[in-house]
Structure 1
C-alpha cells in the first residue's frame, strides 16, 4: 500500500497542470467571441476578454496564418488558439506540449463552441508554426 501511495504522489508531482487562464482578443462587434469565452468559463477557465480595434495586428504578431484567421485570437500560456477551437483540442495541446506556435479552427463553423446551431460535420483543427499548418486533430 505504501508503494502505491508513493507512486501516486510522484505522479501528482510530475504531471503538469493544464493551464486554465486565457486572454481572448476579439473584435468589439462580435458576439460569438463572448459566447466562446463563456464556453471556456463554464469548464472552469478564467478568460480575460480584450476588445481590439486592430485584431489583424494581434494575429500577425501571434503568427496566425491567414488561412486560419477567425474572429478572435486567444493566448494560453505560450500557445495561440485561433477561433472556435473545441476544448478537447486545447486539452490535447496543453497535455502534449508540442513545439508549435498554436492551433486553430478555420472560419466560424456552425455548431463549434460559441457558434449557434448543430454541428454540421467534422472540425479539422490545424497546428501552426512559422506560418505553416499541419493537421492537429479532427473532432
Structure 2
C-alpha cells in the first residue's frame, strides 16, 4: 500500500469518526455529604461515559462563590469539567454539547433549582419543563429546553 493510500485511509477514519465528547472526560462534582440527588446526578453522568469524582463539602456556598456561579442560577451541587462550571442537574447530553461546541464566552451551564424529572431528580413519570442556562461574563441565555 502506498503512503498516499495509507494517509487517505487514516484521514477518512479520523474525520468520519463519531464525536465522543464526554466519553471518559473527568468531571469533579462538589456536593454536600448529605445530598442523595447529587449522588443520583453523578450516577447519571457515569452512565453517560463521564469519569466522575465526588468531593464532599459542607461549604457549598463558598464553592459556588469561588467558581463564579451567579446566585440566580444556583442549585445543590457544582461541578468542573474541561474548564467549565456545571451547576445543578444539567443533563449529560448538554454537557457533551458544551464541550464539543465550546461556545465563545461561555463559563458554564446551569439548571437552576431542582426541577422534578431532571437527571437525579426523577420521581415517577412526572417531569417539570426546565431550561439549561448558559452563562458567562457577558450574560446568560437558554442553551437547551427540556
TM-score (norm 2): 0.83
Residues 51 and 114 (structure 1), Cα distance of their counterparts in 2 relative to 1, 3 Å cut: same
Q: Is the 8 A contact 1:63 1:130 kept in 2?
A: no
Picking from 67, 86, 90, the partner of 1:85 is 90
CA distance in 2 between counterparts of 1:6 and 1:72 reads 42
Q: 2:126 matched to 1:113? A: no
SS at 2:29 equivalent: strand
Shift of 1:6: 4.3
CA root-mean-square deviation: 2.3
Runs of 4+ residues over 2 Å off in structure 1: 2-7, 15-19, 118-123
Which residue number in structure 2 is paired with residue 18 of structure 1?
21
Q: Is the 8 A contact 2:21 2:97 kept in 1?
A: no
CA distance in 2 between counterparts of 1:116 and 1:138 reads 17
Shift of 1:4: 6.1
Unmatched runs of 5 consecutive residues or more in structure 2? none
CA distance in 1 between counterparts of 2:138 and 2:128 reads 26
Q: Deviations over 1:105-134 (max 9, x none)?
A: 011111110112134243201011138321
How many aligned residue pairs are there? 137
Unmatched runs of 5 consecutive residues or more in structure 1? none
